[in-house]
Amino acid sequence: MIKPIGSDELQPRFIYDTERHHQLAHEAESLPSITISSQAAGNAVMMGAGYFSPLEGFMTVPDAVSVAETMKMTDGRFFPVPVLCLVESTDAIAGAQRIALRDPNVEGNPVLAVMDVNAIETVSDEQMALMTEKVYRTSDSEHPGVQAFHSQGRQAISGPIHVLNFSYFQNDFPDTFRTAVEIRNEIQERGWTKTVAFQTRNPMHRAHEELCKMAMDAVGGDGVVIHMLLGKLKPGDIPAPVRDAAIRKMAELYFAPNTVMITGYGFDMLYAGPREAVLHAYFRQNMGATHFIVGRDHAGVGDYYGAFDAQTVFDEEVPEGALDIEVFRADHTAYSKKLNQVVMMRDAPDHNKEDFILLSGTKVREMLGRGEAPPPEFSRPEVAQILMDYYQSIS
Q: Concatenate the DSSP letters of all residues of 54-119 into one string.
A: T--EEPPHHHHHHHHHHSB-TTS-B-SS----EES--GGGTT-SEEEEEPTTSTT--EEEEEE--E
297 shares a domain with 244: yes
283 shares a domain with 196: yes
Number of H helices, E strands in the chain: 13, 15
193 shares a domain with 324: yes
Which of 134, 150, 167 is where one domain is finished? 167
109 shares a domain with 80: yes
Q: Which domain holds residue 70?
A: 18-167
Answer whether residue 10 is part of any domain: no
Q: Which parts of the chain sit beneath pLDDT 70?
A: none
Answer whether residue 260 is part of any domain: yes
Answer whether residue 350 is part of any domain: yes
Answer whether residue 239 is part of any domain: yes
Residues comprising the chain, all counted: 395
217 shares a domain with 148: no
377 shares a domain with 249: yes
CATH of the domain at 247: 3.40.50.620
Q: Which pLDDT does position 222 carry in this prediction?
A: 97
Q: Which pLDDT does position 241 carry in this prediction?
A: 86
307 shares a domain with 198: yes
Q: Which pLDDT does position 219 carry in this prediction?
A: 97
Q: Which pLDDT does position 104 carry in this prediction?
A: 97
Residues involved in catalysis? 201-202
CATH of the domain at 111: 3.10.400.10
227 shares a domain with 362: yes
Answer whether residue 283 is part of any domain: yes
Which of 134, 167, 200 is where one domain is finished? 167
Angle among Cα 301, 304, 307 to the nearest 5 degrees reads: 80
Answer whether residue 7 is part of any domain: no
Alpha helices in the chain (DSSP H): 18-28, 38-48, 61-70, 125-136, 144-150, 169-172, 180-190, 206-219, 240-254, 274-286, 309-316, 361-369, 381-394
119 shares a domain with 138: yes
Count of domains forming the chain? 2
Q: Which pLDDT does position 364 carry in this prediction?
A: 85
Q: Which pLDDT does position 184 carry in this prediction?
A: 98
Answer whether residue 362 is part of any domain: yes
250 shares a domain with 158: no
Q: Which pLDDT does position 13 carry in this prediction?
A: 98
Which of 167, 188, 215 is where one domain is finished? 167
Answer whether residue 64 is part of any domain: yes
DSSP type of residue 321: T
115 shares a domain with 233: no
Rounded to whole angstroms, the Cα distance separating 136 from 146 reads 7
Rounded to whole angstroms, the Cα distance separating 49 from 62 reads 25
Q: Which pLDDT does position 237 carry in this prediction?
A: 78
Q: Which pLDDT does position 114 carry in this prediction?
A: 98
Using a cut of 0.85, tell me whether the model's pTM lies above it.
yes
382 shares a domain with 331: yes
